[in-house]
Structure 1
Amino acid sequence: MTEPSSRRILGLALPALGVLAAEPLYLLFDIAVVGHLGALPLAGLAVGGLILAMLSTQLTFLSYGTTARAARLHGSGDERGAVAEGVQATYLAVGIGLAVVAAVYAVGGPVTSAIAGDAEIAAAALSWLRIAVFGAPLILVAMAGNGWMRGVQNTLRPLRFVLVGLAVSAAACPVLVHGLLGAPRWELEGSAVANVAGQSVTAACFVVALLRERVPLRPHATVMRAQVVLGRDLILRSLAFQACFLSAAAVAARFGAAAVAAHQVVLQLWNLLALTLDSLAIAAQTLVGAALGAGNAAQARQLAGRLARWSTVFAVLLAGAFALGVSVLPGLFTADPEVLDQIGVIWWFFVAIIPVAGVVFALDGVLLGAGDVAFLRTATLGCALVGFLPPIWLSLEFDWGLAGIWAGLTVFMMLRMLAVVWRTGSGRWAVTGADTQAGRRSE
């Protein structure tokens, strides 16, 4: 197995970036369409969308875990086995997705009420959510499809499938929301229907692609159980992130409207950077998993160093761009002087952690590709408990403001960097063979 060229790495990373960015961009379009209905429907979309997004975020193991397992099998030469991982992940996606639908119908009312804090907003959110949740199994099928296709080093087809589905949603959304072209005017519910329509198309594309591979379709409990084991650790890791960022938002809100607005602006920029750097992390997952599956631990280690260097250089360039843009970029989001003052407090924390993120995200991808998720789970939980949550809550106690919150994020990222650099340098993750559980046994 020859070492991948720079062109090959970019050929995996750039389509992956397109997939990562497509959904957030469509959500902005959806918000713009619904926003013309007024404040109440927009608030309902915000609350309902938050609930659905939080559910789907916890289930990304269907993508990342499937990539890790399929990449090893692909590297070992077992192409049919790699695709078969997608079959089992798709069964899991459908089963978990139907459970999500049932859960929303069982407890959606109390949950939307608790989050919204207003009866009218909660009613609007629940009305949207009860339609949109039928897209949950479809979203999860697409995650599973992305997972096995990344594992066999095909990131271009998933991009096409996602773009086709989003094009359907984008065409249907204004028509159904505002009753254009003779269609019924369904307002907020029209947004949910449009979302499900597009998700149906994307999921259908992935299922057809799977069927065309002509691999056995019989469910295998042992494979699904192994995928769930990976998923458990990834879910716990994701919950650590959710706890940190929800705590940060809650504390920021207690420092006033200007503080929470500034925090939201910079956090959205951070999320955009995370998507960008994650594209290289996905390439790392795919290529490292394949190298280990082929029995080439030396190449996996070389790839780890190479991709970490790429990601760090890219992150440093991004940090430089944001440093130079300090007098211009915040003004693109707000003209409020108080909000701009608060952004100024945290801007340099934001700039400083971008290079750190370049290292962390790349090596996260390496360890995910190796199936070393037990270490990532433990490291992330430990860094959150030690580095992020204490400064957040101490900021509230001692009135440190946003500076304290973002200092906590900085410490969190620094500790994560130390953890993944140490783990990567130890070489304990570089366990060869087609079985991702080998990495767990090395713990």
Structure 2
Amino acid sequence: MPLTTGIGRNIRQGRTHDREILRLAVPAFGALVAEPLFLLTDSIIVGHLPDPALGALGVAGAALTALVGLCVFLAYATTAAVARQLGAGDLRRAMRQGVDGIWLAAAIGVAIGVACWSLAPFIVHLFGATGDLAALAVTFMRVSLLGTPGMLIVLAGTGVLRGMQDTRTPLAVSVGSFVLNGLLNLWFVLGLGWGIAGSAWGTVIAQTLSAAVYVTLVVRAARRHGASLRPDLPGVRAAGAAGFALVIRTACLQLVLLVATSLATRMGETQIEAHTIAARLWTFLAFSLDAIAIAGQAITGRALGAGDVAATRSATKRMVMWGVVSGIVFGVVVLLARPVIPGLFDADDAVAAQLMTALWPVALFQPVAGIVFVLDGVLIGAGDRRYLAWASLSSTLVYLPFATFAGSLLALWLALGAWMVARMITLSVRAYGRAWMVTGA
């Protein structure tokens, strides 16, 4: 009887975790997909302009994505901090953390905009752009920089709401911003004839209005719970210091992807085209797995804030299971779709042959990616940022020799697989222990 009772309790607990994971992860996935849809919509509209407008959008977009990507800690660190205070039952302090995150995002956004305005021609040149391509890229980048504070405030505001266990509102804001961005781009670029600058202005307005929505929501919540709206300089500095380790983690991730793209480019035009398609597929699948990681950040922060180590361990095991199962399903889908994927991208025979080879490791390492994404989210939610920075550095050092000596696209993707395995080992070793489970506010 006790054994039966224990099994029943575990089943009920597992179902409870499942409902909570789905409640947070499904809306988070929708919000995550909105960002690449921004870029896709801009590309489709700018594609109607004469050359080299689309190329300029690609160059400036890549630079801006890298800059904003390094600031993703504003969402992750804020989610963990707010969720921990929520779990500890201190809603006033939770919103105080959120307000500090908003102020930090605004300050960094202004600093990036001011610094990169004059550096725009140099940054564009780093991507190899010259002539009209460079001029258009600089125009797009400089207009887009006006929206940088808004973009970063959106990250921080998203983190606040996720920390409060709300992923539906960020989804609604993302959908609204996506629709507005598309309409404004159509009007400015094709209706008013503003060219590539019109595309940038459309995105700036959409992102700034989204930031205004988040600021309004955070201000209302802060007033409701008695939190000050003034910038708390020690709190802002603490938020920045906490995010520094996540910047290192994110920089390592971007370095790995940049090296892979660079090496694939050197292999030849056929290889880089096949690699680009494989990387886009990998990225889309990563968004799905990252949705579970976001649920992990929110759930872990809240549970540890409440001092519930048992619930933290139980939820972590359940989310890892979700990651593994999702990874297996994704891997099988990739293998089943492998014969038709080249045709979806209109790849010629040579590119298709390279792509068919690269899709094997893409499918094979999906379960590993599931574990990695989940544990990454769990440790971010626990505030174990310093370990994540060292783990990212060490796994990158494992990857670089494999990538450097990769003589084919298959070998390059196997090197990326070795990087994922190294991340899985470092994160699993940490998650198995107890050092990261620091409880309380």
Superposed, 1:13-28 pairs within 5 Å as 13-28=25-40
Superposed, 1:229-268 pairs within 5 Å as 229-268=241-280
Quote the Cα distance in structure 1 between the aligned partners of 2:438 and 2:160: 21
* Corresponding position of 2:107: 95
Using structure 2 for the length normalisation, give the TM-score: 0.94
Superposed, 1:25-36 pairs within 5 Å as 25-36=37-48
* Corresponding position of 1:293: 305
* Corresponding position of 1:401: 408
| Cα offset, 1:205, TM superposition | 0.4
Quote the Cα distance in structure 2 between the aligned partners of 1:175 and 1:150: 33
* Corresponding position of 2:129: 117
| Cα offset, 1:251, TM superposition | 1.0
Q: Secondary structure of 1:185's partner?
A: coil
- Contact kept in structure 2, 1:113 and 1:119, CA below 8 Å: no
| Cα offset, 1:370, TM superposition | 0.3
- Contact kept in structure 1, 2:28 and 2:167, CA below 8 Å: yes
- Contact kept in structure 2, 1:164 and 1:201, CA below 8 Å: no
| Cα offset, 1:428, TM superposition | 1.4
Q: Secondary structure of 2:322's partner?
A: helix
- Contact kept in structure 2, 1:86 and 1:145, CA below 8 Å: yes
Q: Secondary structure of 2:127's partner?
A: helix
Quote the Cα distance in structure 1 between the aligned partners of 2:312 and 2:356: 41
Superposed, 1:4-403 pairs within 5 Å as 4-179=16-191, 184-213=192-221, 214=223, 215-386=227-398, 388-395=399-406, 400-403=407-410
Question: Which of residues 418, 424, 428 in structure 2 aligns to 1:417?
Answer: 424
| Cα offset, 1:334, TM superposition | 2.5
Quote the Cα distance in structure 2 between the aligned partners of 1:316 and 1:190: 43
Aligned length: 424
Q: Secondary structure of 2:296's partner?
A: helix
Quote the Cα distance in structure 2 between the aligned partners of 1:74 and 1:152: 7
* Corresponding position of 1:439: none
The alpha-carbon distance between structure 1 residues 258 and 309, as it changes in their structure 2 partners (threshold 3 A), is: same
The residue type equivalent to 1:211 in the other structure is V
Quote the Cα distance in structure 1 between the aligned partners of 2:121 and 2:339: 45
| Cα offset, 1:166, TM superposition | 1.9
Aligned-residue Cα RMSD (Å) equals 1.2
Quote the Cα distance in structure 1 between the aligned partners of 2:170 and 2:381: 19
- Contact kept in structure 2, 1:101 and 1:133, CA below 8 Å: yes
Q: Secondary structure of 1:168's partner?
A: helix
Quote the Cα distance in structure 2 between the aligned partners of 1:9 and 1:111: 41
Runs of 4+ in 1 over 3 A off after TM superposition: 2-5
The residue type equivalent to 2:180 in the other structure is V
Structure 2 alignment gaps of length 5 or more: 1-11
Q: Which moved more, 1:16-25 or 1:325-334?
A: 325-334
| Cα offset, 1:165, TM superposition | 1.9
**Percent of aligned pairs with the same residue?**
37
Quote the Cα distance in structure 2 between the aligned partners of 1:405 and 1:197: 40
The residue type equivalent to 1:390 in the other structure is P
Quote the Cα distance in structure 1 between the aligned partners of 2:71 and 2:428: 26
Quote the Cα distance in structure 1 between the aligned partners of 2:347 and 2:355: 12
> Once the two structures are superposed, what CA deviation does each residue of 1:238-276 show, in whole Å capped at 9, x if it has no partner?
111111111111111111111000000000111101111
Quote the Cα distance in structure 1 between the aligned partners of 2:127 and 2:17: 48
Q: Secondary structure of 1:344's partner?
A: helix
Quote the Cα distance in structure 2 between the aligned partners of 1:161 and 1:339: 39
Q: Secondary structure of 1:39's partner?
A: coil
| Cα offset, 1:330, TM superposition | 2.4
1:432 aligns with 2:439: yes
- Contact kept in structure 2, 1:94 and 1:137, CA below 8 Å: yes
